[in-house]
Protein backbone atom coordinates (compact mmCIF):
# COMPACT_ATOMS: atom_id res chain seq x y z
CA UNK A 1 0.00 0.00 0.00
CA UNK A 2 1.42 3.36 -0.97
CA UNK A 3 1.66 6.14 1.56
CA UNK A 4 -0.89 8.31 -0.23
CA UNK A 5 -3.41 5.44 -0.28
CA UNK A 6 -2.94 4.84 3.45
CA UNK A 7 -3.50 8.54 4.11
CA UNK A 8 -6.66 8.65 1.98
CA UNK A 9 -8.26 5.41 3.13
CA UNK A 10 -7.09 5.25 6.72
CA UNK A 11 -5.65 2.31 8.57
CA UNK A 12 -8.88 0.65 9.63
CA UNK A 13 -7.95 1.41 13.23
CA UNK A 14 -9.83 4.53 14.42
CA UNK A 15 -7.36 5.33 17.21
CA UNK A 16 -4.43 5.29 14.78
CA UNK A 17 -6.35 7.22 12.14
CA UNK A 18 -7.01 9.95 14.68
CA UNK A 19 -3.29 10.15 15.51
CA UNK A 20 -2.16 10.12 11.88
CA UNK A 21 -4.72 12.78 10.94
CA UNK A 22 -2.80 15.36 12.98
CA UNK A 23 0.46 14.72 11.05
CA UNK A 24 1.59 15.25 7.48
CA UNK A 25 3.31 11.89 7.06
CA UNK A 26 6.90 13.08 7.15
CA UNK A 27 9.64 10.87 8.58
CA UNK A 28 10.76 13.68 10.89
CA UNK A 29 7.43 13.31 12.72
CA UNK A 30 8.21 9.71 13.69
CA UNK A 31 9.10 10.28 17.36
CA UNK A 32 6.05 12.47 17.96
CA UNK A 33 3.80 9.90 16.31
CA UNK A 34 5.31 7.08 18.38
CA UNK A 35 4.80 9.14 21.55
CA UNK A 36 1.15 9.68 20.64
CA UNK A 37 0.67 5.97 19.91
CA UNK A 38 2.21 5.04 23.25
CA UNK A 39 0.03 7.60 25.03
CA UNK A 40 -3.02 6.03 23.38
CA UNK A 41 -2.18 2.34 23.90
CA UNK A 42 0.24 2.40 26.85
CA UNK A 43 2.91 0.80 24.65
CA UNK A 44 3.78 0.46 20.95
CA UNK A 45 1.82 -2.45 19.46
CA UNK A 46 3.58 -4.16 16.56
CA UNK A 47 0.61 -3.58 14.24
CA UNK A 48 0.70 0.15 15.02
CA UNK A 49 4.41 0.24 14.15
CA UNK A 50 3.71 -1.46 10.82
CA UNK A 51 0.98 1.05 10.01
CA UNK A 52 3.27 3.91 11.05
CA UNK A 53 5.89 2.63 8.61
CA UNK A 54 3.30 2.71 5.81
CA UNK A 55 2.02 6.14 6.83
CA UNK A 56 5.52 7.63 6.92
CA UNK A 57 6.76 5.61 3.93
CA UNK A 58 9.70 4.47 6.06
CA UNK A 59 11.04 0.90 6.28
CA UNK A 60 9.72 -0.98 9.31
CA UNK A 61 13.25 -1.68 10.64
CA UNK A 62 13.78 2.09 10.86
CA UNK A 63 10.62 2.42 12.97
CA UNK A 64 11.76 -0.43 15.24
CA UNK A 65 15.22 1.15 15.42
CA UNK A 66 13.79 4.37 16.83
CA UNK A 67 11.34 2.54 19.10
CA UNK A 68 14.11 0.43 20.63
CA UNK A 69 16.74 3.19 20.80
CA UNK A 70 14.74 5.45 23.11
CA UNK A 71 14.09 4.04 26.58
CA UNK A 72 10.83 5.97 26.84
CA UNK A 73 9.18 3.61 24.37
CA UNK A 74 7.73 0.24 25.38
CA UNK A 75 7.20 -2.56 22.87
CA UNK A 76 5.34 -4.71 25.38
CA UNK A 77 2.19 -4.06 27.36
CA UNK A 78 3.08 -2.56 30.74
CA UNK A 79 1.85 -4.04 34.00
CA UNK A 80 -1.09 -2.58 35.88
CA UNK A 81 1.45 -1.25 38.38
CA UNK A 82 4.77 0.30 37.43
CA UNK A 83 7.91 0.33 39.54
CA UNK A 84 10.66 2.61 38.27
CA UNK A 85 14.12 2.88 39.80
CA UNK A 86 16.50 5.75 39.15
CA UNK A 87 19.92 4.51 38.07
CA UNK A 88 21.53 7.94 37.77
CA UNK A 89 24.95 8.63 39.25
CA UNK A 90 23.76 9.76 42.70
CA UNK A 91 21.45 6.76 43.08
CA UNK A 92 24.08 4.42 41.65
CA UNK A 93 26.75 5.38 44.20
CA UNK A 94 24.16 4.93 46.96
CA UNK A 95 23.40 1.34 46.00
CA UNK A 96 20.46 1.37 43.61
CA UNK A 97 21.88 -1.67 41.80
CA UNK A 98 21.14 -3.83 44.86
CA UNK A 99 17.69 -2.23 45.15
CA UNK A 100 16.81 -3.09 41.54
CA UNK A 101 18.15 -6.63 41.96
CA UNK A 102 16.02 -7.14 45.09
CA UNK A 103 12.86 -5.83 43.43
CA UNK A 104 13.55 -8.06 40.44
CA UNK A 105 14.18 -11.09 42.65
CA UNK A 106 11.00 -10.46 44.63
CA UNK A 107 8.86 -10.16 41.49
CA UNK A 108 10.78 -12.69 39.39
CA UNK A 109 11.50 -10.20 36.59
CA UNK A 110 14.31 -7.99 35.33
CA UNK A 111 14.18 -4.30 34.37
CA UNK A 112 12.13 -3.84 31.22
CA UNK A 113 9.92 -6.84 31.99
CA UNK A 114 6.40 -7.36 33.26
CA UNK A 115 5.31 -10.13 35.61
CA UNK A 116 3.57 -13.03 33.85
CA UNK A 117 0.26 -12.10 35.50
CA UNK A 118 0.51 -8.58 34.03
CA UNK A 119 0.39 -6.93 37.45
CA UNK A 120 3.85 -5.32 37.71
CA UNK A 121 6.45 -3.80 35.41
CA UNK A 122 9.98 -2.96 36.52
CA UNK A 123 11.77 -0.16 34.71
CA UNK A 124 14.84 2.00 35.20
CA UNK A 125 15.48 5.60 34.20
CA UNK A 126 18.72 7.54 34.05
CA UNK A 127 17.58 10.29 36.43
CA UNK A 128 14.42 11.30 38.26
CA UNK A 129 15.85 14.60 39.49
CA UNK A 130 15.67 13.60 43.16
CA UNK A 131 19.39 13.11 43.67
CA UNK A 132 19.39 14.37 47.27
CA UNK A 133 17.12 11.53 48.40
CA UNK A 134 18.58 8.68 46.34
CA UNK A 135 18.29 5.86 45.75
CA UNK A 136 14.80 6.68 44.51
CA UNK A 137 12.08 4.23 43.48
CA UNK A 138 8.72 5.34 42.06
CA UNK A 139 5.80 2.97 42.55
CA UNK A 140 2.67 3.95 40.63
CA UNK A 141 3.72 7.60 40.71
CA UNK A 142 4.61 7.69 44.42
CA UNK A 143 8.24 8.57 45.12
CA UNK A 144 10.23 6.69 47.76
CA UNK A 145 13.64 8.03 48.75
CA UNK A 146 16.70 6.57 50.46
CA UNK A 147 15.53 3.10 49.49
CA UNK A 148 17.64 0.12 50.52
CA UNK A 149 17.33 -3.42 49.22
CA UNK A 150 15.51 -4.36 52.45
CA UNK A 151 13.08 -1.43 52.30
CA UNK A 152 12.52 -2.05 48.58
CA UNK A 153 11.49 -5.61 49.28
CA UNK A 154 9.08 -4.42 51.99
CA UNK A 155 7.62 -1.81 49.64
CA UNK A 156 7.05 -4.37 46.92
CA UNK A 157 5.59 -6.99 49.25
CA UNK A 158 3.17 -4.38 50.64
CA UNK A 159 1.67 -3.80 47.18
CA UNK A 160 -1.59 -5.49 46.14
CA UNK A 161 -1.45 -8.78 44.24
CA UNK A 162 2.29 -9.35 44.69
CA UNK A 163 3.11 -13.00 44.17
CA UNK A 164 6.56 -13.24 45.69
CA UNK A 165 8.89 -15.46 43.72
CA UNK A 166 11.72 -15.83 46.28
CA UNK A 167 11.44 -16.91 49.90
CA UNK A 168 14.56 -15.40 51.50
What pLDDT shows up at residue 18?
Answer: 95
What pLDDT shows up at residue 135?
Answer: 98
Domain boundaries defined on the chain? 3-69, 81-157
What pLDDT shows up at residue 2?
Answer: 46
| Ordered DSSP codes for the chain | --HHHHHHH--S-HHHHHHHHTS---GGGHHHHHHHHHHHHSS--HHHHHHHHHHHT--HHHHHHHHHHSTT--SSPPPSEEEEEE-SHHHHHTTHHHHHHHHHHHHT--TTEE-TTSSEEEEEES--S-GGG-S-EEETTEEE-S--HHHHHHHHHTSTT-------
Distance CA 104, CA 165 (A): 9
What pLDDT shows up at residue 9?
Answer: 54
- Find, among 153, 155, 79, the residue nearest to 112 by Cα: 79
Tell me the whole-structure pTM to 2 decimals.
0.72
Backbone angles phi, psi at 45, to 5 degrees: -65, 145
What pLDDT shows up at residue 8?
Answer: 43
Please determine, looking at this structure, whether the domain spanning 3-69 carries the CATH number 2.20.28.
Answer: no
- For the chain, 168 residues long, the average pLDDT of each consecutive 10-residue run is 48 91 94 96 95 97 94 89 96 98 96 93 93 96 96 92 63
Q: Quickly name the fold that domain 81-157 has.
A: Glutaredoxin (3.40.30)
Amino acid sequence: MKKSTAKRNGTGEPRLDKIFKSYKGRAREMISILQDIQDEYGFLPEEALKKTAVFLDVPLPDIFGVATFYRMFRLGRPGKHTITACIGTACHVRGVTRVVEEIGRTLGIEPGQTTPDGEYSLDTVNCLGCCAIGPVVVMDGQYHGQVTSQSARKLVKAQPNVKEVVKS
